[in-house]
Amino acid sequence: MALASTLANCLSSKNAQYDIIRHPYTLSSMATAEAAHVPGDRLAKTLLLEDESGYVAAVIPSSHHLQMAAICEQTGRKLVLAHEDEVREVFKDCDLGAIPPIAMAYGMQTYVDDSLMKQPDVYFEAGDHQELVHMSVDQFSALMSDATQGHFARRMM
């Protein structure tokens, strides 16, 4: 599969410099990090959250857990994880579980954990379970310029 069309358009519009990393098919972010031989701290995982006001996306390292209380406090909302059917509906050009972090291109507020911005480079899903986008943290920061940064993830033990 090629890049998800929404992601491809976003990367093009921002003149982003990136590489595509192919890896064996995986179904979890930590399995993807292992299969692609990339550190889990550098692999962005996107989670779709919702409340009665709509959707938001939280982008965290795959080696971390989302702290719901912290993201709810930062957003001022009572968010819960969205159901799989809703994820499919919002990210129509992506495979389930392979959501790129550019959720603002899909029309929603996006929050990115600041621990990703401390890495030298970042990897993230290209829209399927066999390709990652790889770019410098400077490129990632420019790509995520419309996202809100915060601290709402904790490293898994």
Q: Output 156 or 150, whichever has higher pLDDT.
A: 150
pLDDT at 86 over 80: yes
- Give the pLDDT confidence score for residue 32 in this predicted structure: 94
- Give the pLDDT confidence score for residue 1 in this predicted structure: 56
Question: What CA–CA distance (Å, rounded) separates 25 from 27?
Answer: 7
pLDDT in tens, 14-27: 999 999 999 999 98
Q: Would you say 48 and 81 are in contact if contact means Cβ atoms under 8 Å apart?
A: yes
pLDDT at 34 over 70: yes
Average the pLDDT over 64-76 and give the result. 97
| pTM value > 0.85 | yes
Q: Which domains does the chain have, with CATH numbers?
A: 5-155 (3.90.960.10)
Element (H, E) at 110: strand 109-113
Q: Is 139 left (phi over 0), alpha (psi -120 to 50) or beta?
A: alpha
- Give the pLDDT confidence score for residue 97 in this predicted structure: 86
Q: Would you say 117 and 141 are in contact if contact means Cβ atoms under 8 Å apart?
A: yes
Residues 6+ apart with CB under 8 A from 147: 59, 101, 104, 110, 111, 112
pLDDT in tens, 42-65: 999 999 999 999 999 999 999 999
